[in-house]
């Protein structure tokens, strides 16, 4: 007796197809999770690197400012600092002072340190960016004629591509909450007021106010450094 021809199965059953789709979906989820973890780890590492960089800059400023000296550099001879005339000086785009903690010329006992806000180059239409630049000049003379030593000055870009980087001063201002028609005496309040960044003349340099700060943002990290004027050595 000749048997019926045996059917040869081709393709996959529904159960096998569902199992394969489940495996592929599980692998896709695992790969996506691994990529997300790696991306977060990389972003977290970059965030930590930026935060550490800002902290190092703030620490450098604090160390130098804490070791500043009350030497006057604008006279023919070394001057003693008085209560209203101290060594540090400011311009709307920089703070300058003499310190015994050099950052670049380590062999010099005294240097003139300047923290400068410079506008960075940007494409047309792009938001303005700012750089925090450190400039150091060895102090080899306490007279105004120090041109022979200008070649020894050095600069270092501390934070490049900052947003909203500016100088502010802590000043006493009228309390705007008191009406001008009120009989009550006007009150004073201490507030932070920004300097206007503009082209300035060296003749506009003046004594450091009660406090000055550099404030802004570096790639998402807040930057704040306060220079408090107080009694010097």
What 8-state DSSP symbol labels residue 128?
P
Per-residue model confidence (pLDDT) at position 101: 93
Q: How high does pLDDT run on average in the chain?
A: 75
Give Cβ neighbours of residue 136 (< 8 Å, ≥ 6 apart). Answer: 102, 103, 104, 105, 111, 112, 113, 114, 153, 154, 155, 156
Which pLDDT value is given to residue 31? 81
* Closest by Cα among 189, 192, 190, 188 to 169: 192
* Run of H or E including 59: helix 14-66
The CA distance from 129 to 32, in Å, is: 36
Instruction: State residue 199's pLDDT score.
Output: 42
Q: How many CB atoms lie within 10 A of CB 75?
A: 11
Q: pTM here?
A: 0.67
CA distance 228 to 209: 8
The pLDDT tens digits of the residues spanning 200-230 come to 444 544 545 788 899 999 988 999 999 987 5
Please tell me the predicted confidence (pLDDT) of residue 28: 84
Q: For the stretch 79-98, what's the b/e string if a residue is b when 16 or more beta carbons lie within 10 angstroms of its beta carbon? A: eebeeeebbbbbbbbbbbbb
C-alpha dihedral (54, 56, 62, 68), degrees to nearest 10: -120
In the predicted model, residues of the chain with pLDDT beneath 70 are 1-12, 38-45, 71-87, 141-151, 174-187, 196-208, 230-233
Q: What is the pLDDT of residue 232?
A: 43
Q: How far apart are CA 107 and CA 122, in angstroms?
A: 37
């Amino acid at each position: 007796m000749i048997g019926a021809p045996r059917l040869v199965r081709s393709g996959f059953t529904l159960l096998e197809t569902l199992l394969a789709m489940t495996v592929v979906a599980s692998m896709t989820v695992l790969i996506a999770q691994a990529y997300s973890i790696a991306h977060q780890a990389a972003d977290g590492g970059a965030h930590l690197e930026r935060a550490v960089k800002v902290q190092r800059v703030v620490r450098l400023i604090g160390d130098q400012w804490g070791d500043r000296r009350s030497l006057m550099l604008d006279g023919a001879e070394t001057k003693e600092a008085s209560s209203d005339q101290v060594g540090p000086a400011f311009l709307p785009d920089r703070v300058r002072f003499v310190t015994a903690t050099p950052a670049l010329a380590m062999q010099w006992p005294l240097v003139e340190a300047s923290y400068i806000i410079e506008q960075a180059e940007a494409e047309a239409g792009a938001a303005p960016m700012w750089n925090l630049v450190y400039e150091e000049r060895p102090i080899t003379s306490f007279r105004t004629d120090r041109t022979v030593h200008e070649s020894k000055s050095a600069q270092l870009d501390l934070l490049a591509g900052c947003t909203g980087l500016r100088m502010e001063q802590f000043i006493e201002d009228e309390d705007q909450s008191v009406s001008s028609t009120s009989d009550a005496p006007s009150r004073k309040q201490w507030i932070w007021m920004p300097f206007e960044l503009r082209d300035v003349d060296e003749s506009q340099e003046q004594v450091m106010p009660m406090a000055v700060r550099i404030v802004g943002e570096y790639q998402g990290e807040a930057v704040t450094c306060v220079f408090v004027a107080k009694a010097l050595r």
